[in-house]
Structure formats: C-alpha cells, structure tokens
Amino acid sequence: MLDIKYIREHADEIRRGAQAKRIVCDVDRLVALDSRRRELQLQLDQLRQQVNEMGGQVGLYRNLKWYEKQGLNKEQAEQKANELQTQLADIKQRIKSLDDEESRVLPEFEQLMLTIPQPPDPEVPLGEGEGGDEIRRWGEPRTFDFEFKDHVQLGQQLGILDLERGVKLAGSRNYVLMGDGARLYAAVLRLAGDLLIERGYRAMQVPVLVKESAMYGTGYFPTGREQAYLCERDELSLVGTAEVPLTALHSDEILNEGELPKRFFAQSCCFRREAGAGGKDTYGLYRVHLFDKVEQVILCRNDREESRRFHAEILQNAEDMMQKLEIPYRVLNIWTSDLGMGQVQKFDIEAWMPSRKSYGETHSASRFYEFQARRLNLRYKTGDKKNHYCHTLNNTMIALPRVLIPLLELNQLRDGTVMIPSALRPYMNGQERLTPS
RNA sequence: GGGGAGGUGGCCGAGCGGCUGAAGGCAACGGUUUGCUAAACCGUCAUACGGGAUCAAACCCGUAUCGGGGGUUCGAAUCCCCCCCUCUCCGCCA
C-alpha cells in the first residue's frame, strides 16, 4: 500500500508505474473517492463537534447546581435542555445520512488502495512478459561425455524418490523422498540455516497457517488468493512462503529504531496451489504443491539506500549458498512487467538444470520499501519520537526439492551414482556419494 | 469441548453515565541541582485521520480510538447483546 497523499500528488507517476508493471488499476476512481471521503470526514467532524458541545450543554441544563448558578429555575432549564435535544435530533439525522454515504465510500476506497501497485525503481529494465536482464553468471553449465540422466531417473534408480506414491497419497505435483533422498534434503536445509546463523541472522520457527490479515499485509491477498490453500471455516490460509509470517511478525507494532535492522530467517513448509500453472512443469520435482524453503527477511529503517544495501546482502547470501553447493547459476534483474504489486525491484537466481537444458528459477529476492509495512502497520520510532514505516525485504536462501534437480543431475557419474558436494558431507555423516539402496 | 476470572496508554494500575484521552505509579525523554554517579525537584511523554498555518516543519483546531462489532442514551471506558483473545479448573490429546 502507498501513501494516499503521495498518490494524490503523483497520480501520473503511479499510473506510469502500473503501466510498466502491466497491472491494471483505477487511479482516477481512487483519487475521486479520496476527495469525497475527505469532504465527508470534514462535514462529519464538524457536525460531531456540534453534537458534543450541545450534548455537554444539555448535561449542564439538567444539573441543578449549574442552572441555579445561572439564575434559572427548573422549568426554564428543562425547556432549554429540550430545545437543544430537538436541535440535536436534527443534526443527528444529517450525520446519519453522511455516515451512510461514508460507509459506502470507505470500503471501496480501502479496496482500491490495496490494488495500487508501487512503481518500480528506475534501474529496473522495462519489459514485456516474464523474465529479466541477466546481470551475471557463476560457474559453467556442465557438459556430459555420456548419456546423462534427469533427476527423476536418478532418484528412482537410487531408490530415493517415489513420484507414483506421492501422487497416490496427495494427487499430482506430490512426491516422496526416501533414505538418502530425505537425508540430502534435510542436509541442504541445515547448511542454509547454518550459513545464515554465521552471518548474524536470527533463526525463527513460525506459523504456516495464518490469518488473512497477514496475507493481505504482505500483499499476497487479494490478488494472489487463487494461489493459496484456504482453510475457510477457520478463516486461515496456508502460506506459500515464510516471508508472510516473518514479515508480519511485528505488524501493528512500533519498534525502536535501535532494534533495526532485524535479520530473520525461517525454514518452513510452503503450500502453493499452482492454479493457473496449467500443465506447466508437471514433470519431476520442479513445480510441486508442498515444499520446504529457508527464507531470509529483513526489516530495516525507512531509507532507500539502506534497503538497497540489504537487498545486495540477501542476494549475496543466496549466491554464496549456491556456490557452496557448486551449482552454476545466473542472476536476473527482473523486468518491470514481471514485478509483483509491491516490489520495487527483484533479482532472481536461476540454476543450471541439465534436464531442462536451461537455467531454472531457484531464488527470488525482492525489496518493497514501505509497501508491506504500510499494509502491516509495521513502524519504528526515532529519537525525535516520530514514527516511520519500516522497509521490508526478502529472499530465498534455498528451496527444496527444486534445488535437488541441479544437485542430482550435475553431480551424477556415468554409473548413475551421484557425488555429494563437499559442503553437504558434514551433514550426511561424511558420506561422499549416493548409491543405489 | 464444558465451568470460572479477566481484557484500560510502553508497562503496572484507578476509573459515580457528562468537567476522563483517561487519576496514580514505573519506565523513557528534556531541564535544574551535583566534582561524577545516585537521589531530589520541574517539565514532556498514545495513535490515526481531517482542517488551518507554513517553502517545509514546529504549531493551532477538530474527530475517532479504553479487545472487536452492534444497541440503549442528548451524552458510554462506565449499562445491555454478540464475537474475539488471555488466564484458570475439568475433559480430551500429539
């Protein structure tokens, strides 16, 4: 959410931003509702002021000590009071009708406020459709001097992946990992967490079934509603990322400036319906309904330069993780047309996946400035006792099982066994290789 | 799931239906005093929105907010109804 005053005064900029993001929103309608809303408030405030003042008078005219002091007798005072009450009844009628109008205008206004996207930063490339400009690469895509296998073949031959039973249990886009597969999965997550702990990030364990306010606050609702699993009778939603509970953790709070920045991470289950994905990426472990992710979240001061620095930091953390895993990747500066409602800039990391013969997205690092903090009512107080909205940022540290695709495929040997990258071996009891079990 | 108790400002804690945005205390901040610290004293000390003033702020005015919503009343933190949450006893249970 943006500041209505800012929208009012920079309507053009907002319109251009929405255009660049390819997001449809009605700025004119919003501005019109805003001015009507302010007129109504002004009138209502004035009428309420009258009511308060006259109401106080009524009280006085009913107060024996007071009206005797004014030299009035009971009848005179009573009559004054009644007169006032008659006038009040009239004013309250007017309040009622204005109030009715306000209660029609406000919900629409608030609804529209939630649909206004934040303009992208200038360094974001203008684009069309999904994607971004490649800004760097690390590592070389591996070439094979033998017929390589994809992660599904490898997983099945090693006896660590069972897609059929996953589907039997839970429908399409589900899977089961066994033995070394499950161990490897856990090992990657632990490595990611340990790396972040080393760097001063605070480990968190958070709810993954959250109230709608958290979904709205982080910007996933109302637009992304289709993508979420809802537990409707309890009015709760399963989160698609720990970004939601972590970013909303301090919602409706006023932090002290000294507490910032807050560097968090959480490993959590992530639930995504993949509605609209249609038949896309149905093969293997690429796009599944339930996965695990270690997510980084930073809450910092309201300072764009600071936000940028932290953005670089969380991106670096993820790149370092990929380097530890020895997975070649590239980093994209995502186009305006592929940015979400609140994001001002987003960098994706894509890992080389032999079976896809391409880079595939494994990470997404976004910064939001105040956008989420405003929706969440997440603020901090400075030394001069002023309140400011925080800035929020997040990035994947690692997400599984997707990263198992390059991890298995890139490290396979001719005989179908898979070498374990050395950074993971300590988490696998020193095991160096996956062999059929 | 059933029975009790309770939800007031950063915290604790008062609060006859009008003069209570809310006593008092603590914490915090500014100041006086002081060799330093402590103590003492004085002052400040919720948030949002709107209006006015301004280059902008400071500032001035108003409205709303005492868990949330609705009602009674000229007037509600205070009375009534519904909901939510916390604590506690019982039952159930990873």
Residue-wise pLDDT for A97-112, tens only, equals 999 999 899 999 999 9
Give A221 CA → B91 C1' in Å: 39
- Asked whether residue A254 carries a pLDDT value surpassing 90, the answer given is no
Give a yes or no: residue A125 inside a domain: no
Would you say the C-beta of A273 is within 7 Å of strand B? no
Give a yes or no: residue A119 inside a domain: no
**A210 touches A266 (CB < 8 A):** no
Q: How confident is the model at residue A309, as a pLDDT? A: 97
Question: Once rounded to an integer, what is the mean pLDDT over residues A12-18?
Answer: 95
ipTM entry: 0.86
Would you say the C-beta of A88 is within 7 Å of strand B? yes
Would you say the C-beta of A51 is within 7 Å of strand B? yes
Question: Once rounded to an integer, what is the mean pLDDT over residues A217-237?
Answer: 89
Task: List the catalytic residues of A.
Answer: 272, 287, 361, 364, 402
Q: How confident is the model at residue A424, as a pLDDT? A: 98
Q: How confident is the model at residue A33, as a pLDDT? A: 95
Q: Could you say which DSSP state residue A416 is in? A: S
Give a yes or no: residue A123 inside a domain: no
Co-location of A94 and A160 in the same domain: no
Co-location of A162 and A215 in the same domain: yes
CA terminus-to-terminus distance, chain A: 53
Question: Once rounded to an integer, what is the mean pLDDT over residues A215-220?
Answer: 93
Q: How far apart are CA A106 and CA A364, in angstroms?
A: 35
Q: How confident is the model at residue A109, as a pLDDT? A: 93
**Residue nearest B63, CA–C1′ metric:** A45
Number of domains in chain A: 2
Question: Once rounded to an integer, what is the mean pLDDT over residues A250-277?
Answer: 90
Would you say the C-beta of A41 is within 7 Å of strand B? yes
Q: How confident is the model at residue A355, as a pLDDT? A: 96
Last residue of a domain, one of A68, A84, A113: A113
Nucleotide lying nearest to A42, CA to C1' measure = B50
Q: How confident is the model at residue A376, as a pLDDT? A: 92
Question: Once rounded to an integer, what is the mean pLDDT over residues A248-263?
Answer: 89
Would you state the structure tokens that stand for residue A150, as one six-digit string?
Answer: 């994809």
Q: What share of chain A is helix, strand, coil (3-state, %, to 5)?
A: 45, 20, 30
Give A253 CA → B12 C1' in Å: 20
Co-location of A229 and A372 in the same domain: yes
- Asked whether residue A123 carries a pLDDT value surpassing 90, the answer given is yes
Q: What is the mean pLDDT of chain A?
A: 94
**A208 touches A239 (CB < 8 A):** yes
Co-location of A314 and A256 in the same domain: yes
Q: Which of residues 120-139 of A touch strand B (CB under 7 A)?
A: none
Question: Once rounded to an integer, what is the mean pLDDT over residues A206-235?
Answer: 90
Last residue of a domain, one of A83, A113, A143: A113
Q: How confident is the model at residue A253, as a pLDDT? A: 86
Count CB-CB contacts under 10 A for residue A15: 17
Last residue of a domain, one of A78, A113, A148: A113
- Asked whether residue A277 carries a pLDDT value surpassing 80, the answer given is no
Would you state the structure tokens that stand for residue A142, as one six-digit string?
Answer: 């591996």
Q: How confident is the model at residue A256, as a pLDDT? A: 85
Which of A257-271, A356-370, A375-389 comes out lowest in average pLDDT? A375-389
Q: How confident is the model at residue A384, as a pLDDT? A: 79
Which of A129-138, A207-216, A310-319 comes out lowest in average pLDDT? A207-216
Would you say the C-beta of A114 is within 7 Å of strand B? no
Q: How confident is the model at residue A233, as a pLDDT? A: 78
Co-location of A234 and A324 in the same domain: yes
- The answer to whether the Cα torsion of A39, A43, A46, A48 is positive or negative is negative
Give A378 CA → B51 C1' in Å: 27
Write out which nucleotides of chain B lie closer than 7 A to a protein Cβ.
Answer: 10, 18, 47-51, 62-64, 74-75
Co-location of A44 and A163 in the same domain: no
Nucleotide lying nearest to A92, CA to C1' measure = B74
Calculate the alpha carbon distances from A121 to A12, A13, A306 in Å: 15, 11, 14
**Residue nearest B73, CA–C1′ metric:** A55
Q: Write the Ramachandran bin of A281: left for phi over 0, alpha for psi from -120 to 50, otherwise beta.
A: left
Closest listed residue to residue A117, CA positions, set A251, A219, A244, A217 = A219
Co-location of A104 and A243 in the same domain: no
Co-location of A170 and A58 in the same domain: no
Instruction: Indicate which CATH number applies to the domain containing A64.
Output: 1.10.287
Give A380 CA → B4 C1' in Å: 40
Give A97 CA → B67 C1' in Å: 29
Give a yes or no: residue A86 inside a domain: yes
Would you say the C-beta of A49 is within 7 Å of strand B? yes
Q: Give Cβ neighbours of residue A31 (< 8 Å, ≥ 6 apart).
A: A7, A8, A11
Strand partners, A253: A378
User: At A263, is the pLDDT very low, low, confident or very high (cuts 50, 70, 90)?
Assistant: very high
Co-location of A17 and A152 in the same domain: no
A208 phi/psi in degrees, rounded to 5? -110, -5
Instruction: Indicate which CATH number applies to the domain containing A197.
Output: 3.30.930.10
Co-location of A284 and A424 in the same domain: yes
User: At A286, is the pLDDT very low, low, confident or very high (cuts 50, 70, 90)?
Assistant: very high
Would you say the C-beta of A107 is within 7 Å of strand B? no
Would you state the structure tokens that stand for residue A106, as one six-digit string?
Answer: 């406000």
Give a yes or no: residue A118 inside a domain: no
Give A385 CA → B54 C1' in Å: 21
Co-location of A279 and A374 in the same domain: yes
Would you say the C-beta of A5 is within 7 Å of strand B? yes
- Asked whether residue A278 carries a pLDDT value surpassing 80, the answer given is no
Which tops the pLDDT comparison, A325 or A253? A325
Co-location of A91 and A159 in the same domain: no
Question: Once rounded to an integer, what is the mean pLDDT over residues A226-252?
Answer: 91
Nucleotide lying nearest to A48, CA to C1' measure = B63
Residue burial A83-104, b: 16+ Cβ < 10 Å; e: rest = ebeeebeeeeeebeebeeebee
Range of the domain at A27: 4-113
